[in-house]
Amino acid sequence: MHKDTIPTPAEPIRTLSLSFDLPIYSRQIPQWRGAFIELAGFADDLFHNHDNAKDGYRYRYPLIQYRMRKGKAAIMAINEGVDALQRVLASTDWKINWEGKPLALKIEGLHMDEHYLRMLAQPKQYKLYKWLALNQENYERWQQCRNLAERSALLENILAGQILGFCTAMGYRLPERLEANLQHLQFMQQVRTFGNPMIAFNVSYDANVLLPAHIGLGRSVSHGFGWQVPENQKNRKPYRAENKEPASEQTSKP
């Protein structure tokens, strides 16, 4: 099928990226997340993904994701998450409780965009940072792999599944077979989630689908893991601060 005839979703994916004047380390992302949820309130579960009615957890793709960007606290919102975030910013005084003291936030960077998912005739290159590819079951499979080729194949299958999961969450059914190929495994860091050892990867890959910049893939994307950019996008030293810190205890929710 020619690339111009491949169908795209009727509605674009809307994204809003904000960075604030609050310096943080990667280990403080859960703290930043908690502080902003307190500011936003617990009524809207898009901010925390807990089911308020059933006192459980909503296992879905997070539409609000908390991050560190260039050493500062940041948030990425998608679709309904954009609307929820704008409502909070329009109705509060932007004061959070930070390390036991009130702190007024100021926006340092803002970027809004719209994006149509679509298949590509030629694969596009992406970089994926601090990607938690492996759940507990796949971590055991990773440990049992006999060589790098088997591990690469495992990661490629997991990556393809996570891209498909994102597209499904956005309401887009791929009309053709998804091809995702791992190109480079650039960095690995061991982290612990709920006391379990996990591996965070920095990787380059290509895929025959056009994805929005800065989306999260993998586990714990709402806690700053697994965000990506197109290969040709300038993004120097994205994990300058993290590489200087020891591995931290973080949750492994989506």
Computed from CA positions of residues 56, 223, 67, 169, in that sequence, does the dihedral angle turn out positive or negative? negative
Contact yes or no for 174/118 (Cβ under 8 A): no
Residue 162 has pLDDT above 70, yes or no: yes
Identify the CATH number of the domain in which residue 161 sits: 3.30.70
Q: What is the pTM of this model?
A: 0.84
Residue 230 has pLDDT above 90, yes or no: no
- Of 114, 131, 160, which one is at a domain's C-terminal end? 114
Task: Give pLDDT, residue 8.
Answer: 60
Same domain? For 133 and 182 the reply is: yes
What tokens were used for 131? 């990607």
Band of pLDDT at residue 82, cut at 50, 70 and 90:
very high
The verdict on residue 161 lying in a domain is yes
Same domain? For 125 and 63 the reply is: no
Same domain? For 55 and 136 the reply is: no
How far, in Å, CA of 17 to CA of 33, rounded? 15
Same domain? For 143 and 188 the reply is: yes
Domain that residue 95 falls in: 13-114
Task: Give pLDDT, residue 127.
Answer: 96
Same domain? For 185 and 227 the reply is: yes
Return the bridge partners of 98, or none: 101
Task: Give pLDDT, residue 195.
Answer: 67
Q: How many CA atoms lie within 13 A of 5 on its CB side?
A: 2
Task: Give pLDDT, residue 244.
Answer: 37
Residue 53 has pLDDT above 50, yes or no: yes
User: Domain total for the chain?
Assistant: 2
Residue 116 has pLDDT above 50, yes or no: yes
What tokens were used for 75? 């948030």
- Of 57, 85, 114, which one is at a domain's C-terminal end? 114
Band of pLDDT at residue 252, cut at 50, 70 and 90:
very low
Instruction: List, for residues 172-208, the tens digit of each pLDDT value.
Output: 999 999 999 999 998 899 887 656 678 999 999 999 9
Same domain? For 75 and 184 the reply is: no
Instruction: List, for residues 8-49, the tens digit of each pLDDT value.
Output: 666 899 999 999 999 999 889 999 999 999 999 888 889 987
How far, in Å, CA of 1 to CA of 53, rounded? 46
User: What burial letters (b/e) apply to 219-237, b meaning 16+ CB within 10 Å?
Assistant: bbbbbbbbbbbeeeeebee
Same domain? For 95 and 158 the reply is: no
How far, in Å, CA of 47 to CA of 65, rounded? 8
Same domain? For 152 and 106 the reply is: no
Laid out side by side, the sheet with 180-193 consists of: 227-230, 118-131, 196-210, 180-193, 249-250
Tell me 145's DSSP state: -
- Of 114, 130, 165, which one is at a domain's C-terminal end? 114
